[in-house]
Amino acid sequence: MSSAPSSDSRPLRVGIIGFGWMGQVHARAYARLAQHFLDLPVRPELVAIADNAADSRLASAVAAFGFRDVHADWRELVARDDIDLVSVTGPNFIHRDVSVAVARSGKHLWVEKPAGRDAAETREIAAAVAAAGVRSAAGFNYRNAPAVERAKALIADGRLGAVRHVRVRLLADYAAHPEGALTWRYQNAWSGSGVAGDLVSHGVDLARYVVGEISELMADTAIFIPQRPALTGVATGHNSRGGGELGAVENEDYLSALLRFDGGARGVLESCRTSVGEQCTYGIEVHGGRGALAWDFRRMGELQLCLDQDVADASYTCEYVGPRAGEFGAFQPAGGIAMSYDDLKVIEAHRLISSIVTGRPVGATIADAVVAAELVDAMLESSRTGRWLRVDPVPIPA
């Protein structure tokens, strides 16, 4: 098993598997860590990537980040003995095999969500991580926003009173065009699910992180664009257009769910990938007996607060979170100065490095990915059966 080097020894050597947009986000996060966290006990060094894309853009990206080596086969990267930590950022259908291999090789793991195509695959990854004794991180970046950390603290401190009801929304338009290509995302053998694994997994993680565990749920799903044209060129991301024969979309464009939390609160979650007019409309609203709050990812540094008022005719004020909230101070000196999506991934990387150094879980881990996967599976099952389901994830090591 690879162990974290001390601050006066070699750096933490990093490999990345899958070097599309998300792989490059991870690379930037590693590269920027020491710039934001000046007391970082060990610094990452970008060593190698694995990607089988026959694309000149790959060579340009690799050169920009300064990787020493490139592998067409991810197995070659995992087999190296000069790598301590691997990011797994490829498509869903490689996550289980790659992540299990990474853990079994004794390397620490940072895997994007959904970690597996379903809960069973995610548990396989978690079991491999636990057996190897390595550290893990899961890509639930929205919980890392300083405003979300502030919201969590306010609720934990009882400032809202007992939480009564919660609303979570994750709406996007990346699949709204009917000519969007029938890529792997729309086929269950490759993706596992549709918007459930892609966005709903983020939503359930955000809800349970801020409010508490979800114990029961009932869900509904829909496919709004049942056929899509086959891809005729090279996929360019979520918005790739197709020009080939029409084929069936196998997984859900839309999911809504009623939620019951352990503490008695009720919730509503709604997510869609074909919402015309919506781009990254992600957020959470929480109402308690004495107050309320709301957060919108598109205004990431703002927290809408309704606190310390008469509960009749109470109103919201906007708080611009600052250096006392989460890791905000590592990026900006005062509230009102914007942070970015990439900053959330830098925080995620820092929490993983901290867990490697301390030997204790810090931030979202594969254990959180298992809970999210159990909830997503339950929602899909509820949609098929039309019934309320109780969810009791079996605790696993982080």
Averaged pLDDT for residues 323-327? 97
Model confidence at 7: pLDDT above 90? no
Model confidence at 171: pLDDT above 80? yes
Per-residue confidence band for 236, with pLDDT thresholds at 50, 70 and 90: low
Residue with the bigger pLDDT between 57 and 354: it is 354
Q: To the nearest whole percent, how much of the chain has pLDDT over 90?
A: 89
102-118: pLDDT as tens digits: 999 999 999 999 999 99
Averaged pLDDT for residues 23-49? 96
Report domain extents, the chain. 12-141, 146-299+301-339
Per-residue confidence band for 235, with pLDDT thresholds at 50, 70 and 90: low
Q: Which two tokens stand for residue 98?
A: 């790659």
329-371: pLDDT as tens digits: 999 999 999 999 999 999 999 999 999 999 999 999 999 999 9
303-318: pLDDT as tens digits: 999 999 998 999 999 9
Per-residue confidence band for 58, with pLDDT thresholds at 50, 70 and 90: confident
Pick one of 2.60.40.420, 3.40.50.720, 2.60.40.10, 3.40.50.300 as the CATH number of 12-141.
Answer: 3.40.50.720
Residue with the bigger pLDDT between 104 and 52: it is 104
SS (H, E, C) 101-149: HHHHCCCEEEECCCCCCCHHHHHHHHHHHHHHCCCEEECCHHHHCHHHH
Element (H, E) at 86: strand 85-88
Residues 6+ apart with CB under 8 A from 105: 78, 79
Q: What is the pLDDT of residue 59?
A: 82
Q: What CATH topology corresponds to 146-299+301-339?
A: Dihydrodipicolinate Reductase; domain 2 (3.30.360)
Model confidence at 30: pLDDT above 50? yes
Q: Which two tokens stand for residue 159?
A: 């400032």
Per-residue confidence band for 6, with pLDDT thresholds at 50, 70 and 90: very low
181-216: pLDDT as tens digits: 999 999 999 999 999 999 999 999 999 999 999 999
Nearest to 93 by CA among 193, 23, 175: 193
Model confidence at 8: pLDDT above 70? no
242-262: pLDDT as tens digits: 768 999 999 999 999 999 999
Q: How far apart are CA 278 and CA 178, in angstroms?
A: 16
Model confidence at 1: pLDDT above 50? no
